């Protein structure tokens, strides 16, 4: 790769571009936590069966989906 092209690319990036990808990176890390929650809720639902367990599982999945949605929104609009 020509170094001039790389330098031109880096210098063309604004502060907000860095902020955008920092946001996206942070949200990707956050998504790992969301996945852990879904997994943990599944394990705990097996440990203790209760009629309200599906509601809790739904909240865990909703949280994961909202996180993915926010990552997409961040990439698109920022």
Partner 1 sequence: MTDVYDSSHPPLKKNPIDLETDRSKEWWKQLIDDVLEDVGLTPGSSVMSTFCVRPGSHFVNQQEDEEIVLLLRAHPVTNLGWILLTLVMLVAPSFVLSFGILTLPGKFIFVGQMTWYLVTFLFAFEKFLMWYYSVFIVTNERLVDIDFDNLTFRNITHTNLNHIEEPEMITGGFVRTMLQYGDIFVTTASENPSIEALAVPMPQKVVNVISRLSEELEKRRERGQ
Q: Does 21 bind partner 1 (CB under 8 A)?
A: no
End-to-end Cα separation, the chain, in angstroms: 28
Q: Does 29 bind partner 1 (CB under 8 A)?
A: no
Residue partners of 68: CB distance under 8 A and separation at least 6: 31
- How far apart (Å, rounded) are the C-alpha atoms in residues 38 and 78? 28
The least distance separating partner 1 from the CB of residue 10, rounded to whole angstroms, comes to 21
Closer by beta carbon to partner 1, 2 or else 14:
14
Question: 56 near 45, Cβ under 8 Å?
Answer: yes
Residues of this chain that bind partner 1 (CB under 8 A): 16, 19, 23, 26-27, 30, 33-34, 36-37, 40-41, 43-44, 46-50, 52, 56, 59-60, 63, 66-67, 70, 73-74, 77-78
């Amino acid at each position: 790769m020509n170094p001039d092209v790389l330098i031109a690319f880096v210098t063309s990036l604004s502060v907000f571009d860095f902020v955008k990808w920092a946001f996206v990176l942070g949200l990707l890390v956050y998504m790992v936590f969301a996945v852990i929650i879904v997994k943990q809720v599944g394990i705990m639902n097996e440990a203790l069966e209760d009629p309200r367990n599906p509601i809790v599982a739904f909240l865990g999945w909703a949280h994961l989906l909202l996180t993915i949605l926010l990552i997409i929104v961040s990439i698109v609009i920022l």
